[in-house]
Structure 1
């Protein structure tokens, strides 16, 4: 773990000397259904009250980028985003692997469903349509998410073709299917007993329809077209039960989707990359192995 921390420290120093991260507006033509919700709130590593979704690009910290891109969806129950711990920190780590990261700032409870889905699918379409500009491969775009951000990432992997994710923009013609998913202690189901009630209320309202409960219980939306998935969860998670990951893994297995799952004993909800949690703190090594095994860390010539 000390080696991992040293890597992160040197990476952060390298990034500090590089150009500042690029912020990419997701909806330059205007945010769908935009309303006046007041100013965005930023502080203590969190963002909330978002009305202008963006992607913040963090480039590779190594000499030879591998062309892989990962959209990172921070968690926070669809109420706020843990941007520092589950966004920026992940991006710094991924940069050491040659990955280009894009931290997604998405709409949440002030808009509700389907605004977050529209934002994450728009993010995939934006990167795929501008892959050459960003130095990435259009066939190597993954989505990573933690907690409610994991729900959003899994939504991208299961509802990428949903009409709810389209707004009538020309970019809708670009495929929004991620090429892989990385889900950290994700919210998956919206149905009891394993549901995270806070995320459900923030996304679907206090009295969600049965149709929306079914649609956004993502274990029920898995098909053979769902992309390969890595799941990481802990037995000690008392906020989002480990059954969420298990349900999704079972659905992936039934649909014959390549999947790998690590269930650790220690580490409460929102552990991020925290040290001192036994084997749970080593999850970045397992994730790197998974990415490497899938060929996602092998440098390739950028597609034109």
Structure 2
């Protein structure tokens, strides 16, 4: 039995969220047939956001917590390799992990129509992107007004998740000042959006993995220490992550960037036999150095 099998699920907005996403078919799962994460479980049409709690074994808790935010381009959630696998890794090392199932833009209920929708994004990854073309590719992904709105709603869910963990810190034996966030791809955008505009105390630490941007917004004077990684052959977000690191550095905030020669986009906890497989061990060392481990 894994931690996720036995742990609590918290509803973020029991009285209803401040903003809603309309028109979502019922939530469902699917497994992509190709790509880095082929065969892993993913979610779509999430309209009821939750936190799933992954507690460490008794006697192993270190008092720190992390909110885990999977990616998926604001259309899907990479639930296993950027979600449950990550939460379990943290719980095994003494952290209390809270896996965020945040709301995403609706996709077609029909599987064939859904596959056609996803092919539009896959096409952007088919050819290498230059520094000049990468921002244009990102703009293509978020050009749709629904995706822009989904990004804002996802940040709402992220802020609420952070607040809930802090509010219930005593219940879980946590230090409310040691609650950080990790996100992947679209989830990385989410955690950076929260850190830039937390609407409350910011996360204690921030780990946006292959994603995130400031969008020209100033990095707050109390911005948390940042750890980020990217593969040089990530055809979509390499230059954006590089820019995020430089923005944090220019604001004189603690930051660490690891660039791997190979790994592509979206590797998460998938082992590819590449140096990028080590990213989470590097993160563990960084967290220990910062006093969270």
The 1:233/1:135 distance shift into structure 2, 3 A limit, reads: same
Instruction: Confirm or deny: 8 A CA contact 2:212 2:244 kept in the other structure.
Output: no
RMSD, aligned α-carbons? 1.8
- Residue 8 of structure 2 is matched in structure 1 by 22
- SS of the residue corresponding to residue 6 of structure 2 reads coil
The aligned counterpart of 2:211 is 186
Q: 1:87 to 1:262 in 2, by over 3 A?
A: same
Q: Would the alpha carbon gap of residues 19 and 41 (structure 1) be closer, same or farther in structure 2, given more than 3 Å must change?
A: closer
Deviation at 1:77, TM superposition (A): 0.4
Aligned residues: 241
- 2:30 counterpart of 1:43: yes
Partner residue in 2 for 1:79: 75
Hey, what does 2:120 align to over in structure 1? none
Q: Return closer, same or farther for 1:256/1:187 CA change in 2, 3 Å cut-off.
A: closer
Gaps of 5+ in 1: 1-12, 162-174, 190-216, 298-304
Aligned-residue offset at 1:32: 2.6
Write out per-residue CA displacement over residues 195-238 of structure 1, whole angstroms, 9 at most, x where no aligned residue.
Answer: xxxxxxxxxxxxxxxxxxxxxx2x53322221111011110111
8 Å CA contact retained: 2:66, 2:98: yes
Query: What per-residue deviation string (whole Å, max 9, x for no partner) do you get for residues 11-31 of structure 1?
Result: xx6x36x96121100001112
1:268 to 259, 264, 282: 264
Q: Deviations over 1:241-288 (max 9, x none)?
A: x11111111111111111111111110101112223432111122111
Flag structure 2 segments of 5+ consecutive residues without an equivalent: 32-40, 107-148
TM score, norm. by length of structure 2: 0.77
1:108 match: secondary structure: coil
- Corresponding position: 1:105 with 2:101: yes
Structure 2 residue 174 is matched with structure 1 residue 136: yes
* CA-CA distance at 1:115 after TM superposition: 1.2
Measure the CA separation in 2 of the matches of 1:251 and 1:120: 22
The separation in 2 between residues aligned to 1:176 and 1:47, in whole angstroms, is 30
Please tell me whether the aligned partners of residues 245 and 257 of structure 2 are also in contact (alpha carbons under 8 angstroms): yes
The answer to whether the 8 A contact 1:58-1:100 is kept is: yes
1:236 aligned to 2:262? Answer: no
